[in-house]
Amino acid sequence: MLRLVYPYTMSISGNLRAIHHRIEAASTAVKRDPATVTLIAVSKMHTVDEIREAYDCGQRHFGESRLQEAQPKIQQLPKDIVWHYIGTLQTNKAKKIASLFQVIHTFCKASQIEEASKSDTPVDALIEVNIANEPQKAGISTIELDEFHQKALNSGQVHFRGLMTIGPVVPNAEAMRPYFRELRELREKLRLEWLSMGMSGDFEVAIQEGASHIRVGTAIFGSRL
């Protein structure tokens, strides 16, 4: 069984080094190249200065979940940052979000695709899958996924690259393994490239099950205020 440790420090740079070591170890355990894993630093509710500190350590992918909070950060920070939208996607904001972010992880309605396609700039996209079919969570059910994917194939400026999930609350990281494995199998069936899954507490298991993108916040920046 995978044993997880959380070597969080008061230093963003130290935390990033520790996470990269953990990514390397998890990848090596299943004979993966660590370079195939994209670390998204979840910077929602953290300051421009904190993001800049992570950027100065070489971090280039950041995740935000609120348009109003993210917009001034995007305007102030370096232009080579890749911004990932990981929050609930409101249809009336989808066009604006698509114009600001390079990747949107949370498509699950046709109306969102329609609005985002009106953007002047292309955006990479993922379909959010409610992998455990939890009624309180957003996302396409596994039963609806095939049909939704077919509708998403011709989406103008929105280029669907893979699947994303936020798993259920479980007692330990190992309990997430069957959910991550199921999402990987769904991706393989649809012949997509990306899998966005795994967060601070379970990203090693996600990597072992095929994650291409992991979303890590607390383990980098500490608890949000």
pLDDT of 155: 86
SS3 143: coil
Residue 9 pLDDT > 60, yes or no?
no
Domain edges within the chain: 12-221
Evaluate whether 151 touches 110 at the Cβ level (below 8 Å). Answer: yes
Q: If you write DSSP's letter for every residue of 86-132 in order, what string do you get?
A: -S---GGGHHHHHHH-SEEEEE--HHHHHHHTTSSS-EEEEEEB-TT
Predicted confidence (pLDDT) at residue 23 exceeds the cutoff of 80? yes
CATH class for the domain made up of 12-221: alpha beta
- Mean pLDDT (the chain, rounded): 93
Mean pLDDT, range 207-216, rounded to an integer: 98
Q: What is the pLDDT of residues 154-199, one digit of tens each?
A: 888 999 999 999 988 888 999 999 999 999 999 999 999 999 999 9
Query: Is residue 128 within 8 Å of 140, Cβ to Cβ?
Result: yes
DSSP letter assigned to residue 170: -
Q: Taking the CA of residue 142 as centre, how many other CA atoms within 13 Å lie in the half-sphere pointing to its CB?
A: 14
Least confident segment among 2-6, 63-67, 103-107, 184-188: 2-6
Helix ranges restricted to H, the chain: 12-29, 48-56, 67-76, 94-100, 110-116, 145-152, 177-190, 203-208, 218-221
Residue owning tokens 């990033």: 16
CA distance 40 to 60: 8
121-162 pLDDT, tens per residue?
999 999 999 999 888 888 999 999 999 999 898 888 999 999
Residue 74 token pair: 């995007």
Distance separating alpha carbons of residues 149 and 121, to the nearest angstrom: 21
Question: Residue 209: CB partners within 8 Å, gap ≥ 6?
Answer: 177, 180, 181, 183, 184, 197
Query: How far, in Å, CA of 144 to CA of 224, rounded?
Result: 35
pTM tops 0.75, yes or no: yes
What pLDDT sits at residue 6? 45
Distances (CA, A) of 135 to 138, 204, 220: 8, 27, 30
